[in-house]
Amino acid sequence: MDDAGTIIAFYVLAGMTIGSALGVVVVRNLIHAVIALIGTFAGLAGLFVTLSADFIAITQILIYIGAISILFLFAIVLTPQSGRNNQETFLRFPALALSGLVLAVLVYVAVDTKWNVTEQDGFAETAGTIGELLLDKYVLPFEIASVLLLVAVLGSIVLVRPEPAEED
Amino acid sequence: MSVDLEHYLIVGAILFSIGLYLTVAKRNFVGVLMGIEMMFNAVNLTFIAFSRFAESDQPLAGHVFVVFVITVAAAEAATALALAVMVYRTRDTVNVDEIDLLKW
């Protein structure tokens, strides 16, 4: 992980990720906030590539940029009367203090701890091994996740379905 | 100069803090959900960074965990946005400070 390309890629992608995340906070229009959120997701997908997590990077693009952002856009356009503004409530300064404290603690722990770091290079490819793990060691969580997705799909359909007209 | 585990952990920490701020402070419910998704993403980045850098018998277990986190996040986003649409139908707002029926 010492060549110049990786270092430049890391700083560019980290700047893009955090800059877009700050954009979500600052921007006053919710539609623009979703676009900034897509920038955050894309920067994170790039960071996953620099960590040699190819499968997770593609999954990030497919699920977050492709599906969840569109879901956010639909939720915004389906609630038009509530306005597009992205203002803060009166909790703004307590929230600022809380997130600042959390950031300080996390950064202190990350820098101060002596991590047990491996010397090996990144993985050559991950998708095959992840597939084997999912169907072998982690097959029970895999099945439970499928049931959870089914319940979520049914639940959201039932929630947003209009009330059926009264028969007879 | 090189990019180490700490760099990724700090990026994850900053992203988590921004997500926490969004979740607590934003007025619109969709903005709150954006903060939650951002925190999920920060945790995923931390998982992948540890999976890449930490000494382990089975380093790819972190990737499998991230797959499950993404699954649960997708289910959560779908259900919560459906809830937002339903609240909007009955109350004509999705601002969290106006949804106060349970307040005395």
Q: Which residues in chain A are contacts of B94 at CB distance < 8 A?
A: 79, 82
Q: Which residues in chain A are contacts of B86 at CB distance < 8 A?
A: 159-160
Verify whether the Cβ–Cβ distance A24 to B18 is below 8 Å: yes
Scan for tokens 């992948």, then name that residue.
Answer: B48
Q: What ipTM was reported for this prediction?
A: 0.91
Q: How many Å from the N-terminal Cα to the C-terminal Cα in chain B?
A: 58
Q: Give pLDDT tens digits for A72-98.
A: 998 888 887 666 777 777 888 999 999
Q: Give the CATH architecture of domain B5-91.
A: Orthogonal Bundle (1.10)
Q: Give pLDDT tens digits for B37-79.
A: 999 999 999 999 999 888 888 888 889 999 999 999 999 999 9
- Given a cut of 60, whether residue A159 has pLDDT beyond it is yes
- Given a cut of 90, whether residue B90 has pLDDT beyond it is no
Q: Which residues in chain A are contacts of B81 at CB distance < 8 A?
A: 71-72, 74-75, 156
Nearest to B92 among A81, A106, A110 (CB): A81
Are B25 and A91 within 8 A, CB to CB?
A: yes
Beta bridge partners of B26: A88
Å between A58 CA and nearest CA of chain B: 11
Q: How far apart are CA B74 and CA A145, in angstroms?
A: 11
**Which residues contact residue A99 at a Cβ distance below 8 angstroms, ignoring those fewer than 6 apart?**
B17, B18, B20, B21, B24
For chain A, which domains are there? Answer: 4-109+121-160 (1.20.120.1200)
Q: Six-digit token pair at A112?
A: 């101060």
Verify whether the Cβ–Cβ distance A149 to B74 is below 8 Å: yes
Q: Give pLDDT tens digits for A25-45.
A: 998 888 899 999 999 999 999
The most confident of the ranges A4-8, A15-19, B2-6 is: A15-19
> Hey, where are the domains in chain B?
5-91
What is the structure's pLDDT at A115? 85
Q: Give pLDDT tens digits for A119-141.
A: 777 777 888 888 998 999 999 99
What is the structure's pLDDT at A163? 73
Percentage, residues of chain A above pLDDT 90? 54
Q: Give pLDDT tens digits for A41-57.
A: 999 999 999 998 899 99
Verify whether the Cβ–Cβ distance B30 to A76 is below 8 Å: yes
Nearest to A21 among B15, B52, B75 (CB): B15
What is the structure's pLDDT at B65? 93
Verify whether the Cβ–Cβ distance A115 to B6 is below 8 Å: yes
